[in-house]
Structure 1
Amino acid sequence: MDMNPAPEVIAQTLDAALERLRAAYRAAPNPSLEQRRDWLSRLATLTERHADEINEAISADFGHRSRQETELADLSLIVSSIKHTKRHLAGWMKPRRAATALQYLPAKNRLMSQALGVVGIIAPWNYPHQLAIGPAIAAFAAGNRVMLKPSEFTPRYSALLAKLVGEYFSADEMVVVPGSMEVGKAFSELRFDHLVFTGSTATGRQVAIAAAKNLTPVTLELGGKSPAIVDASADIKATAGSLAFGKLLNAGQTCIAPDYLLVAESKRDELVRALIAAASKMYPTLDDNPDYTAIINDRHFGRLNDLLADAAEHGAQLVPLTGSAVPEKGKEPGNRKLPPMLVLNATPGMRIMQEEIFGPLLPVVTYKDDVREAIDFINERERPLALYWYGTDNASRDLVLEKTVSGGVTINDCLWHLSQESQPFGGVGASGMGAYHGEWGFRTLSKEKPVFYQSRMNGVSLLYPPYGKTFARMVRLLKAIA
């Protein structure tokens, strides 16, 4: 698609693509297990056979993206998810028994899973393959057709994905629609049977408003400020290694990256030293280091520098994690590798504590050694997509789990709850709505239709008019045995 088409051309193109998919669904609304597995196998083949091309396209879009990080987070997760889905799909598709109340026996209840129709997917730029193909796995498993809008910030990858999908799928199975923000806006206004959006909270609100005009149900995977609590009982060296990995993977451009630390006051200085040691070991250099990823574009690079400047202006202490200074704006054009930075003495009034960071900057907030203070700090803010707790004090851990609400939690590590196919992944409140991954993706993108099978031996006719004594006795009986 032309990156700057006229609005009427955008609308016509999108409507035509959607209608082809919808017509195919109407012709075959209940794809077989074999058909669904075939769709999934093609997604796996597309990913594995073209891994090098995908890796190169994503790296080019970023200015540099670690090959190993793309392999870990964009490619291997997708292959693992497909294998898990294919292994369990037959069981998911079977009608499920549901209890039948005593007064209706020997009738029976069943839940029947059906495809919704056409699922729209709006994918972000930070993990472009994982967050485009992941929802497509769930959509195909549930028997749907797929229409996908990748990010305009990854034009090379988006063009490659459109080309590959065109080779592996027909236009009535799956369609990729690359293009500008205007294309994305028009895409969100289409009458899908379900829409999955991954991105910022602000954009998610606009997507939800657009979808509401058609009463299109949405799954919103957003972000927000995910805290990591470092308890006084934590193993500081192990904690620092985990946090450095989780924060600096993809240069912090991860929706579930720890956004700020809540550290027991007695452990702050030790943790700072350990974080510097861990990060310096992982990334001894930056500019010539193929393991360290660049910031996606100049706008985000500038935004991150502005967050640092605002924090420093309001009294924060900026501590380089790898011994590198913050680059000056405009220095070394095209180099968007931003040195990782701790922001000590962070306060709630700073922009860096109000906005999702999405970069290698890590504010540190201390609390007295009573974890309830950290819990109160979290609960005064919007509910996060992820929460992390480090320590060995089980009572403290359980208090955090009981008293906070978040999309997901990892204990004594970070990020890894996302890759658990046997658990749902999703936000809550400002960090999202709905969930997918594994069986939860299948259920989200299916219609679970309740079916009541009446028995030939039943007394329902005793409730028919004309109403009289028999009806009254039957109602009393129904109340008594309910």
Structure 2
Amino acid sequence: MVATVVQLTESKKHIQHTHRVFEDQKKAFRNNPMPSLTERQENLKRLKRVLLSNQERILDAIDRDFSCRSKDESLIAEVMPSIQGINYTLKNLEGWMKPSKRHVSVLFQPASNRVHYQPKGVVGVIVPWNYPLYLAVGPLVASLAAGNRTMIKMSEFTPHTSALFKEIVESAFPEDLVCVINGEADVAADFSSRPFDHLLFTGSTSVGKLVMRAAAENLTPVTLELGGKSPAIVSPDVPMEDAAQRIAFGKALNAGQTCVAPDYVLCPADRVQAFVDEYRNQFAAMYPSLRDNEDYTAIINERQYERLQGYLEDAREKGAELIEINPASENLKDGTRKMPITLALKTTPDMKIMQDEIFGPILPVISYGNLDEAIHYINDRPRPLALYFFGYDKSMQEHVVNQTHSGGMCINDALMHVAQDDLPFGGIGDSGMGHYHGKEGFLTFSHQRAIFSKQKFNSGKFVYAPHGTTAHKMVYKLFIR
């Protein structure tokens, strides 16, 4: 009871703080609605400096939140793409900010058309727990590049990282430019109800619907980066070593707690056993042991661990063949939240692992007869955030590209499309809406303002009333044909 009262009191403080800062940022934006290129560049450089100077503290904080988070994975998947994203934006921002000239029909000449890229105002960002640094910094970089003020709600499930990120941001930016908000789910709910000029949410589809519903009350535009069941197709003729190695990497990174992790594998029926054998070999080469291996990440918390164990139990009870890949045959059930990769064969549609996004180290393997059967399987389900195809036949590659939909796609790789600075990242359908990263991030957080401009001579007067004149008839004859 005491803990509940304390939590409510803390939540009230966080909510009051959110409201105050939101008003401060709105006021600050009105006072500087079009920051210069130099201002934006300096903000990005400041962010880069503070991230680099706190690198080790960031790695330690994420490690503590997960109980064991591979520091190399944090460098590879959080720090490095954050820094590279800043560098790419700094290099290209001047060009992005330039108004773009557009065509003017002869009907409206003499005049000019241009698109002016204007900051939207105050941007809200809601960050998930699985990549707490990168999924905060990525949207922040895009928002600052576009000239906005930014408020960031960090996840309550990464308390050490969230507290540190707040400290880092406060050391680098005034609160009316960038502010970090912490707190529980009720704080996040209130945060999503603020009338932001744009709101970006990364998380589950179910929570994404709630966020979009709250944003709709304010007509706030949203970018939703959700999840889904991202498939990996093994072609009939790809060398199995190549496919299994790259899928093993994509699934093992962060112990599968990645929104674009391969969620299930579609494999030719006559190659399933070869895939299982090769996957076991490749995973063991990367992770010869798990329990005390600092390269292998733990499940974030007990709640997520129990959810995943429940998925395995449900699949086992319903007849799945579960193949645990635990190279050193270690006991991982006496206090550690490390989970071995488990391949699931002979799955059925009623199993939870075939209905929900897995978001952990469980990988169903589903057999198919021909490639079109695999494509139909994917297309019969909600559109995924990512799709992976493994095969070197160019005609097969193009067939899969043209016959499927997904937020993004890799051919002969997994996850790496997310790290491409010049590619947009985003979902489609149940896996989200909108894009960011690189230029698309700048555009997402900018209002693309159409400006039609004319000077003294007014060609428009030829269509003014009274109608039916010779000039009108000539205009109609020339332009309605």
TM-score, normalised to structure 2's length?
A: 0.96
Where does residue 18 of structure 1 map in the other structure?
22
Change (3 A) 1:178 1:8: closer
Aligned residue for 1:5, secondary structure, equals helix
AA of the residue aligned to 1:200: S
The separation in 1 between residues aligned to 2:302 and 2:62, in whole angstroms, is: 16
Q: Percent identity?
A: 45
1:244 maps onto 2:248 in alignment: yes
Q: 3-state DSSP class of the match of 2:337?
A: coil
Q: C-alpha displacement at 1:9, in angstroms?
A: 4.2
Q: Is the 8 A contact 1:326 1:339 kept in 2?
A: no
Q: Which one is further off, 238-247 or 465-474?
A: 465-474
* Paired residues of 2:156 and 2:183 also in contact (CA < 8 A): yes
> Given the alignment, which residue of 325, 331, 334 partners 1:332?
334
Number of residue-to-residue matches in the alignment:
476
Amino acid at match of 1:359: G
Q: What amino acid does structure 1 have at the position aligned with 2:62? A: I
Asked if the contact 2:150/2:177 (under 8 Å) is kept, the reply is: yes
Distance 2:457 2:326 in 1: 77
**Does the Cα contact within 8 Å between 1:211 and 1:218 map onto a contact in 2?**
yes
Shift of residue 3, structure 1, vs aligned partner: 5.2
Deviation of the 1:326 alpha carbon:
9.2
Question: RMSD of the alignment, in Å?
Answer: 1.5
Q: Distance in 2 between matches of 1:56 and 1:9?
A: 28
> Is residue 2:53 matched to residue 1:53?
no
Task: Give 3-state SS (helix, strand or coil) of 1:356's partner.
Answer: coil
Which amino acid in structure 1 is aligned with residue 347 of structure 2?
A
- What letter matches 1:19 in structure 2? E
Deviation at 1:478, TM superposition (A): 5.1
Q: Which residue of 1 aligns with 2:430?
A: 430
Residue 412 of structure 2 corresponds to which residue in structure 1? 412
Gapped regions of structure 2 (runs ≥ 5)? 1-5
Amino acid paired to 1:140: L
Write the letter of the residue equivalent to 2:449.
K
What is the match of residue 375 of structure 1? 375
1:257 is aligned to 2:261: yes
Which of 309, 312, 318 aligns to 2:313? It is 309
Aligned pairs for 1:182-331 (under 5 A) are 182-323=186-327, 331=333
The answer to whether the 8 Å contact 2:288/2:328 transfers is no
- Alignment-derived partner of residue 346 in structure 1: 347
| CA deviation after TM superposition for structure 1 residue 394, in Å | 2.0
Structure 1 unaligned residues grouped into runs of 5+: none
Cα shift at 1:349: 1.6
Matches of 1:342 and 1:327, distance apart in 2: 18
Distance 1:46 1:134 in 2: 15
Q: Aligned residue for 1:75?
A: 79
Letter in 1 for 2:406: S
Quick check: 2:110–2:459 contact (8 Å CA) kept in 1? no
Distance in 1 (alpha carbons) for counterparts of 2:205 and 2:292: 34
Map Cα deviations across residues 118-169 of structure 1 (whole Å, 9 max, x no partner). Answer: 1000000000000001000000000000000010000011011111111100
Q: What CA distance in whole angstroms lies between the structure 1 residues aligned with 2:192 and 2:325?
A: 40
1:142 aligns with 2:146: yes
SS in structure 1 at match of 2:9:
coil
Give the aligned partner of residue 364 of structure 2. Answer: 363
CA distance in 1, matches of 2:375, 2:329: 33
Separation in 1 of the partners of 2:162 and 2:46? 18
**1:151 and 2:155 matched:** yes
Q: Which residue number corresponds to residue 112 of structure 1? A: 116
Aligned partner of residue 84 in structure 1, secondary structure: helix
> Deviations along 1:198-236, whole A, 9 cap, x unmatched?
001111010000000000000000000000000101111
Give the Cα separation in 2 of the matches to 1:410 and 1:264.
19
Determine the structure 2 residue equivalent to 1:32: 36
CA distance in 2, matches of 1:92, 1:167: 28
Q: 1:326 to 1:469 in 2, by over 3 A?
A: farther
- Larger mean Cα displacement after TM superposition, 95-104 or 224-233: 95-104
State how far apart, in whole Å, the 1-side matches of 2:107 and 2:475 are.
11
The more displaced of 467-476 and 75-84 is 467-476
Question: Matches of residues 463-482 of structure 1 in structure 2 within 5 Å?
Answer: 463-470=463-470, 472-477=472-477, 479-480=479-480
Letter in 2 for 1:353: M
Q: 1:76 deviation in Å? A: 0.3
Determine helix, strand or coil for the equivalent of 1:262: strand
Shift of 1:453: 1.3
Secondary structure class of the residue paired with 2:136: helix
The answer to whether the aligner puts 1:128 opposite 2:129 as a matched pair is no
SS of alignment partner, residue 322 of structure 2 = strand
Letter in 2 for 1:464: Y
The code of the aligned residue for 1:249 comes to: L
Question: Does structure 2 retain, via aligned residues, the 8 Å contact 1:197–1:218?
Answer: yes
CA positional deviation for 1:100: 1.1
Give the match for residue 3 of structure 2.
Answer: none
The 1-side partners of 2:145 and 2:110 are apart by 33
8 Å Cα contact 1:256/1:386 also seen in 2? yes
Cα distance per residue 1:46-73 (max 9 Å; x no partner):
2111010000001100011000000000
User: Does the Cα contact within 8 Å between 2:426 and 2:432 map onto a contact in 1?
Assistant: yes
